[in-house]
A and B are shown apart, each in its own frame.
Chain A
Amino acid sequence: MSGGTDFRKLSAVSTASTAMCFEWPWQYNFPPFFTLQPNADTRQKQLAAWCSLALSYCRHHKLYTLDVMEAQESPVFNNKKIERKLSMEAIQVVFEELRKKGNLEWLDKNKSRCLVMWRRPEEWGKLIYQWVSKNGMVNSVFTLYELANGDDTEGEEFHSLEEWMLLRSLQALQTDGKAEIITMDDGKGVKFF
């Protein structure tokens, strides 16, 4: 490749200089990334890259729900630098792909809002249980608020996890016999085994 811009190298450079910022994949600066590719093989690879970008972006910004209309204006799908944005139609395709992979659930019939699970409930459950056993708190009881927002869990990845997601994670643990969700006066709690 002699004259053309190497998109992959460019993105590596920007990563090194901005360590704390979200790391955009090289595709983000590649204009064809924002056009749904007609070639089936190419499209498959393109969609895989989109799924990965959408999930890592949500994870970086701790986003759990997305509004499709808003998503189009969000930097993920709208690269102002190269003046390319993913069409509504293409976003729907990407979201559908995420749904198939089990990372997305629609919240309404019109498919205007969705839950994004950049970590599936089982994965979250595993993380929480690891933290519990590491701190010798098996057989202890927690309120859900304590788990997600308490001082003890600050710095943990599941800190400030949205309650619906936290509940699902604990349900996954309950299925494995590692936790039991209990109803308390002012909400829900959990006991780990």
Chain B
Amino acid sequence: MTSLPFLPLVVPLLIGISLLLIQSLGLKHQRFVSLMGAVALVWISIESLFVSLTGEPQVFILGNWAAPFGIVLVLDQLSAMMVLITSLLAMSAIWYAISQKIDNKGAHFHTLFHIQLFGLNGAFLTGDVFNLFVFFEVLLLASYGLILHGGGRLRTKAGLHYVVINLIGSTLFLFAVGALYGILGTLNIADMAVKIAELPVEDYGIVSAAGLLLLLVFGLKAAMFPLYLWLPQAYANAPAPVAALFAIMTKVGLYAIIRVHGTLFGSTAGDLAYFYMPWLLILGLITLLLAALGVLAARGLREQIAYLVLTSVATLLIGIGLNSPAALSASLYYLIHSTLIAGGFFLLADMIAQGRGIYDDRFESSKPIFKGILLGSFFIFAAIAMTGLPPLSGFFGKFLILAAALEHDWFAIIMATMLISSLFMIIAVAKSGSQLFYQTQIHQKPEGNLFSKKAFLAVVLLLGISPVLVILANPISAFTDSTTLQLLDKIQYIDTVLNTLPIERVQP
């Protein structure tokens, strides 16, 4: 089973390439292959998750060169969890794109989508900082194509900002990686952690500067204050299935913080241990407040959901910044919830916007929409889950994080910020819900697009995960607890990565 970490990478890559090859056969065949690829990816991810549960991280040595000289892929519980979330999101998004025929509004939608999955899974599985950079570039380049899919002025403008800011981010990433390489002489995450543990004191300055520069880059991806301004417009203007997939993009940044900073500057790092944590906490609190104000100020539903995504990122930053095992475990639970629900919410928002016709998703009185009651009920459901009201999974996630915050020195500030911002979010979402569904021009006939049952399936699938997360809260939090234990056990990670030997060549 040692080849398993390889599969989530190679399957989307091959599907993406083969989609190009069968382009001449027409969109119908491409759709079939694309969907089958996404389903296969879900299956592989579930399989990987079960393998990762057996304990030790699975290490795959590319080209049979042992770490730290070769490049490794590492599959542990966190990676497996992220890959599974990505594949679930991707399957629903592709299903939605096919049933709403969004994929024929421009060329190569499915190819770009699978290359993006390749980049995402690569970022989650790599054990090497430079490869993390390369996979970031792969997923970004695919996302540039996807965000512009279908065209339109607003999309081009938001896309231009998105591309420029991410290119600057890439440059900073290279500066940070270069500085770390210059001091540590290695790029393998496990090996870097070993080198940092025995770092002479005079090198602390440059290594911590490089570490903070990396935090800046990951913070840019995760949309942390003050680097979040690109996110709302980019997400609000992206095509719905792309926006749904982008719900995982901010989490890539968070994952990279947990993985890279957690390993490099973890408990083994001496005086540098956890030096970045106060930054995460403070910036997370500021992001949360500003994002909650953004939710209040949003002019359209998609923009509002983009800000809601931002609040979930901020909550996660706070959860990670609390720097306790309980908080990290709670954050992972909240991460599963917020990613999938945000994805489902983006798809739902698109269905509502389609139903409203020319009024799109703007908060103003419109003609009634087809199946308004059904869509409205799902809107309430998604809003409850997203803002963190009981009884859905958002409440559990926030509750767990707040419970973990009780032991922190600043618990009063954290409590106040999180609860006040939640109140803002609830007010804003309640207002937008009543504007979208109650203040309709009641005597008019609906004139938007017809309700599509097929497309709605994707929304139901993603939002349906929220009750599942509640019902299975115990096993899932047991899983996040064991993931946290694995994450905090640096020695096991480092030993497994560095001691995995190449396979002996069979002598003829």
A pairs with B: no
